[in-house]
Structure 1
Amino acid sequence: MYSCSLNVLSHTHTHRTESLISGFTLHIEIFKIHMQTHFVLLGRSFGSPYFYDLTGIRFLTMCPGVTDTPLISDANKFTLNGFPGLGQNLAEGLGDLPPQPTTNVAIGLIKMIKDGENGSVWVSEGNQPIYEVEIPDRLTLRKK
């Protein structure tokens, strides 16, 4: 990923990262495991002003929702050894979320690349137009 990213950066001056909406979705059991990897991708986009100022390369993150691909249609086949029923739980949880065609993700990706500011995070879900997500400062999240 690192060398591929450097190659893309040297030619496009834009780096796109995908992090599924699972980073924001807590009610599906497998997402509690899977979303940890997506939090890494989200966090990677936040700390990039230094690199943008140095290189002029924007870092953008897209979080696609449920998209009509085999990853979704075959979700009940995915499982982790030792966790029976996890694939079924995933399929049921994904069934509760509104699907979208791949064309909606592609249209959103183009908009994000054209309009997105460095470090921005975007969501494409439910066959709706893509939207930018505002990530709150951690100090505003303190439990009262």
Structure 2
Amino acid sequence: MKNKTVATWLTFLGGPLGLHRFYLRGFGDLPGWLLPIPTALGLYGVERVQQFGQDDQWSWVLIPLLGFTIAACALTAIVYGLMAPEKWNARFNAQAAPEAPAGQTRWLTVIGVAAALLVGTAVLMASLAFSFQRYFEYQIEEARKISQ
């Protein structure tokens, strides 16, 4: 039986590595294996910033991948946590009764949804701010080069 609380927390904490998809769908899930790719690229962008500084153009392209992946997993955790027990059990516990305990929303589920909402929103806003700031700074630098 797939537990909704476990899936919510796995999605929130281990989502960028695809852990929730393996828990819910098994190791044959292709998106679960592909999910770590944007996470790794984003982490590579963070490493490039530390190595080359903030003016590295590849870093401001790669870092938002990490942020968007974390934000998407937080949104998925919210969707899982707020899913009705009947729908959860029909989708992930087809052999169980519609009101089976695995699909019930508990306090740990609510706390996981609240944490995902808080962290996911912060990461999304930070990713957008970082990428737009870098883009506009680049545009200003290019405009200065043209005007001289």
Bin of the TM-score, shorter chain as denominator length: 0.3 to 0.5
TM normalised by structure 1 equals 0.38
The structure whose RCO (Cα within 8 Å, separation 6+) is larger is 2
Give the helix-richer structure, 1 or 2: 2
Give the strand-richer structure, 1 or 2: 1
